[in-house]
Chain A
């Protein structure tokens, strides 16, 4: 059983995720290292380690364990990781309002949506998987670009790419929903 270090728990609860996971605040992080750090943190602070403690402390530990879970989810996903990095650099994006993108990109989006609808109505799993693969490739290229820009420190250009990534993210959700229809 691990001793409860109250001040430590309280301070960890208010740290940003990069600090919590003892990772440099950069975009290019090693997923394996992240996962191992995540498991180690949970091994230390999961509420199961504190079965016989006061209710007050238990609640604090639950919050910390939840904070660790949320940190892992945020850092694992390139989109939320990029948004966090921008925020730490003082740049806030309003993704629901600022959706201005080149018309060629929007056209491509519409085409993908139509293709998903087609696959859905014809119950064509193969086609849907194909679109998913295409999307993965596009995402991969985009994430590589974002990574490069982060290395160069070009934060404003990243904003544009992140908007695109958000579109891909939603498209992914649409595909998953379509899979459930089929």
Chain B
């Protein structure tokens, strides 16, 4: 090897000591670390190993094992062998699905999930950090030095809390985080260099449990993400399960033990994988009570059985195209990522749809880490031909306003970094504080979105309702991390927060929020109309009541009785349980009546105010 390193004079292979940066794919099942060595991205691995590190940590007697060694303890000591920790990153304790069987002892620490192990209580950030530390160690052993910086990949649909948690884990592992990078974007970078460096890419990432679709445009040295979409409830596991059901039906199986089910599920997975290479697969397995199952499954059968899933798996592609305002013919390359894209029916569907060959020449399990390594190399400043990455935010962000309505501030698929300001006003006379509630999701009502953070703006100078102007600014940085600040414009009083990682949305919630946003759009509109009617009516009552206090003498007793009657009726209406539409129109009707009943009173007040304003001034000053 040393002989090959002959260089022209003054052109040593390492002209001057470069900074080495690494890319890390921190996956749910497996993780990888890669770096760029003499211009080529390489996966780093332990001796004789392909680099795929199971994302597993084993805690025992003060020792920490990671990867293959940790995985070996899964059966003998499941409570201390932590798998798939990525699923818990940035989640609240209340997010925990109690119905899910799990060998772990979960602990509720101030609302945050922690796991009790033989090495003490660990939170998901610490556990992920132990995996990252291990990957960093692999990098140091391979490169002979500590990396100067790292790019860590996250799923495109990860929310702020999950991104924050990932960044904290990396910092805890002693890594200098250059950037959090979306996984599909990393894949596009890995391919972008091999291809013609121009055009629009669609990245199709189908993993074990989730589907991620991203559309990117590569144009004169800029990678621009146009849209992301996905399905957090669809992956290779669903295909296994469907095939398993088909096997039960075809062999007429029932009364299965837990072992039988596990055995058959494994077989289904194996058959699915074998069918990517063979036209048909036959197998025979022995179940409990010596039951023998002999079966032949063809590719055509598998295709027929999973037809519905394939259709479902194509839907996010269409949605992403629509969000990106692109036609199918405008996609120049289709990149496949994730082990489940090895299924031939998925490949066939995509190649028929796009009428072109799919890009699969980089191993779908490794392409994300490779892209991350290349981006790390760019960010650390090692490349002359660097490019710029413009990513988007996957979910809409908003604020709670009166009546539990969400005011959307940043719509999904906005290019980041993004700043959006919105001005709000006080709702009561003399109001001095205002609480700001940041939510995430596509629905119109706060209760249907996910709460991200709450903070209050205090010391608003007392003013008449509607006179204070509070500007709230949302900012999402290039990592997809959010900060919110608020300022009262006339006084400059500011309040600011960084959104805390203890709150978060589960991917499941994102998916169900996205789909329910569509199903419920109609009822949202009705609910919104009701909410607005209540807000208007309440504001009216407030102003009438404060006017009565100020100018009681301007109102007749009869007027007062009618006004009180209408105010009481409204207050009763507010809490009455009835159909939304009926309630809305009743409130509007009563508000109109109250408006009319106070018209005379209002006119008299106006006269008095004008007289008061004029009194004591000479004509000259008018």
Q: Are A62 and B478 in contact (CB under 8 A)?
A: yes
- 1/0 per position for B410-444, CB-CB distance to A under 8 A? 00001111111000000000000000000000000
Check B381 against A48 for contact (C-beta < 8 Å): no
Cβ of A51 and Cβ of B178 under 8 Å apart?
yes
| 9-residue interface stretch from A4-12, A65-73, A107-115 | A65-73
User: Do B390 and A46 touch across chains, with their CB atoms under 8 A apart?
Assistant: yes
CB–CB B221/A48 < 8 A: no
A147 on interface, CB distance cutoff 8 Å:
no
Contact of B389 with A by CB under 8 A = yes
CB distance from A123 to the nearest CB of B (A): 13
Instruction: Flag whether A93 is at the interface (Cβ < 8 A).
Output: no
Chain A contact residues: over half helix, strand or loop, or mixed? Answer: helix
In the bound complex, do residue B477 and residue A42 qualify as a contact, i.e. CB atoms below 8 Å apart?
Answer: no
Contacts of A48 in B (CB 8 A): 179, 379, 388-389, 478
The distance from the CB of A14 to the nearest CB of chain B, in whole angstroms, is 13
Q: Quick check: A43 and B388 within 8 Å, CB to CB?
A: yes
Those of A6-44 within 8 Å (CB) of chain B:
36, 39, 42-43
Taken together as a complex, chains A and B put the C-alpha atoms of A180 and B319 apart, in Å, by 8
- Taking CB atoms, residues of chain A closer than 8 Å to B149 are 51
Taking CB as reference atom, which chain A residue is nearest B478? A47
Q: Are A66 and B379 in contact (CB under 8 A)?
A: no
Residue B475 at the A interface, CB < 8 A? yes
Asked, given contacts A48-B389, A67-B419, A69-B415, whether A62 binds B477 with beta carbons under 8 Å apart, the answer is yes
Q: How far is the CB of B23 from chain A (nearest CB, A)?
A: 15
Query: Are B478 and A46 in contact, with the CB atoms below 8 A?
Result: yes
B379 surroundings in chain A (CB, below 8 A): 48, 51
Would A42 and B390 count as touching, CB distance under 8 A? yes
A contact residues around B417 at 8 Å (CB):
47, 62-63, 65-66, 69
A52-75 contact mask (Cβ, 8 Å, vs B): 1 or 0: 000000000011011101101100
**Per-residue interface assignment for chain A, residues 67 to 85, with 1 indicating a CB less than 8 Å from any chain B CB and 0 otherwise:** 1011011000000000000
Contact residues in B for A39 (Cβ distance below 8 Å): 219-222, 388
- Chain B nearest Cβ from A72, distance in angstroms: 8
| B355 contacts A by Cβ under 8 Å | no
Asked whether any CB of chain B lies closer than 8 Å to the CB of A176, the reply is: yes
Interface residues as binary, B132-168 with A (CB distance below 8 Å gives 1, 0 otherwise): 0000000000000000010000000000000000000
Please give, as numbers and ranges, the residues of chain A lying within 8 Å of B220 by CB-CB distance. 36, 39
Given contacts A42-B222, A51-B178, contact A70 B322 (CB under 8 A): no
Instruction: Report A87 CB to chain B, min CB distance, Å.
Output: 15
Bound complex: CA A62 to CA B475 (Å): 9
Q: Does B521 contact A (CB under 8 A)?
A: yes
Instruction: Kindly list chain B residues whose C-beta atoms are within 8 Å of the C-beta of A42.
Output: 222, 388, 390
Which B residues are CB-close (under 8 A) to A70? Answer: 418-420
Minimum Cβ distance to chain A for residue B472 (Å): 15
A72 to B415, CA, bound (A): 10
Does any Cβ of B come within 8 Å of A167's Cβ? no
Q: Judge if B518 is at the interface, Cβ distance under 8 Å.
A: yes
User: How many B residues face the partner with a CB closer than 8 A?
Assistant: 27
B475→A180 contact, CB < 8 A = no
- For B21, give the chain A residue with the smallest CB separation: A51
Q: Is A100 an interface residue (CB 8 A)?
A: no
**Contact size class for A?**
20 to 34
A44 closest partner in B (C-beta): B388
Nearest-neighbor residue (CB-CB) of A72 within chain B = B415
A63 adjacent to B419 (CB under 8 Å)? yes
Taking the complex as formed, is A181 at the interface, i.e. its CB lies under 8 A from any CB of chain B? yes
Select the residue from A43, A62, A63 with max chain B CB neighbours within 10 A.
A62
A177 at the interface (CB under 8 A from B): yes
B152 CB to nearest A CB, Å: 14
B221 touches A43 (CB 8 A): yes
CB nearest to B521 among chain A residues: A177
A62 and B473 alpha carbons, distance in the complex (Å): 13
- Give the shortest distance, in Å, between A47 (CB) and chain B (any CB): 5
A66-B222 contact, Cβ under 8 Å, with A43-B388, A46-B388, A47-B477:
no
Report B-chain residues with C-beta under 8 Å of the C-beta of A73: 414-415
Q: Please, how many angstroms separate the alpha-carbon atoms of A51 and B475 in the complex?
A: 18
Please determine whether B319 and A63 come into contact, CB atoms closer than 8 angstroms.
no
* Most A C-beta atoms less than 10 A away, residue of B149, B417, B521: B417
Which residues of B from 383 to 403 have beta carbons under 8 Å from A? 388-390
Q: How far is the CA of A73 from the CA of B420 in the complex (A)?
A: 12
Give the residues in chain A near B221, CB-CB below 8 Å: 39, 43
In the complex the two chains form, is B388's CB within 8 Å of A63's CB? no
Min C-beta distance of B210 to chain A, whole Å = 20
Residue in contact with B222 in the complex, picked from A43, A65, A69, A72, CB distance below 8 Å: A43
Interface residues of A in 131-149 (CB under 8 A from B): none
Most buried by B among A46, A63, A180: A180
Residues of B with C-beta under 8 A to A1: 381
Which residues does chain B contribute within 8 Å of A36, judged by CB atoms? Answer: 220
Complex CA gap A65/B475 in Å reads 11
Give every chain A residue within 8 A of B390 (Cβ-Cβ): 42, 46
Whether A168 sits at the interface, judged by CB under 8 Å, is: no
- Within the complex, the shortest CB–CB distance from B377 to chain A, in Å, comes to 12
Q: Closest residue to B515 on the A side, CB-wise?
A: A180
CB distance from B20 to the nearest CB of A (A): 15
Q: Which residues of A contact B415 (CB under 8 A)?
A: 69, 72-73
- Rounded to whole angstroms, the CA-CA distance of A37 and B11 in the bound complex is 37
> B418 to chain A: which residues have CB within 8 Å?
66, 69-70
Q: Report the bound CA distance from A181 to B389 in whole Å.
A: 32
The distance in angstroms between the C-alpha atoms of A177 and B443, with both chains bound, is 12
Q: Give min CB distance, B198 to chain A, whole Å.
A: 13
| Chain A 140-182 interface 0/1 with B at a Cβ cutoff of 8 Å (1 = within) | 0000000000000000000000000000000000001101110
A182 nearest in chain B by CB position:
B518
In the complex, A39→B390 CA distance in Å?
A: 10
For the complex formed, measure the closest distance between the CB of B431 and the CB atoms of chain A, giving whole angstroms: 23
Select from chain A the residue with minimum beta-carbon distance to B322: A179
A166 to B536, CA, bound (A): 25
Asked whether, in the complex, the Cβ of B322 is within 8 Å of the Cβ of A176, the reply is yes
A43 CB to nearest B CB, Å:
5
- Nearest-Cβ distance from residue A16 to partner chain B, whole angstroms: 16
Which residues of B lie under 8 Å from residue A62 when comparing CB positions?
A: 417, 419, 475, 477-478
A-B contact pairs, 27 of them (CB 8 A): A36-B220, A39-B220, A39-B222, A39-B388, A42-B222, A42-B388, A43-B222, A43-B388, A46-B390, A47-B477, A48-B379, A48-B478, A51-B179, A62-B417, A62-B475, A63-B475, A65-B417, A67-B419, A69-B414, A69-B415, A69-B418, A72-B415, A73-B414, A73-B415, A177-B518, A177-B521, A179-B322
The 5 tightest CB contacts between A and B, nearest first, are A66-B419, A66-B417, A62-B417, A180-B518, A69-B415
Chain B positions within 8 Å of A, measured between CB atoms, are 149, 178-179, 219-222, 319, 322, 379-381, 388-390, 414-420, 475, 477-478, 518, 521
Other than A39-B221, A47-B477, A176-B322, give 17 A-B pairs with Cβ distance below 8 A.
A42-B388, A43-B388, A46-B390, A48-B379, A48-B388, A51-B379, A63-B417, A63-B475, A69-B414, A69-B417, A70-B419, A70-B420, A73-B414, A177-B518, A177-B521, A180-B319, A180-B518
